[in-house]
Amino acid sequence: MFIWDFVASTVMDDLIDWFYGQLVGFLGNFFAQMGNMGVELFDLEWVQAVILFFSKLAWALFAVSLVVRAFECGIEYASGRA
């Protein structure tokens, strides 16, 4: 039985390696295709305008928060709580 166990083990290991390789290859190709879906959407002019708007809005909110935080620090320092 030792030879049969050795042969069966080798064949099963090769089968499992082949199946795993096929599965990983399929998933890699599948996710590559899924990652490319919608890329052409960003070529549209109105989509680029919306992205630019929200980018500018984010920077404006960041700048306002820095100014507000500076005033809060100044008020705390002037009141003696800091």
Q: What integer pLDDT is reported at residue 80 of this predicted model?
A: 81
Distance (Å, rounded) from C-alpha 72 to C-alpha 66?
10
Q: What integer pLDDT is reported at residue 3 of this predicted model?
A: 66
Residue range 15-39: mean pLDDT, rounded = 88
Most confidently modeled of 13-17, 58-62, 74-78? Answer: 58-62
What does the DSSP 8-state code read for residue 1? Answer: -
Q: What integer pLDDT is reported at residue 81 of this predicted model?
A: 73
Residue 53 — very low, low, confident or very high, per pLDDT cuts 50/70/90? Answer: very high
**What pTM value is reported for the model?**
0.49
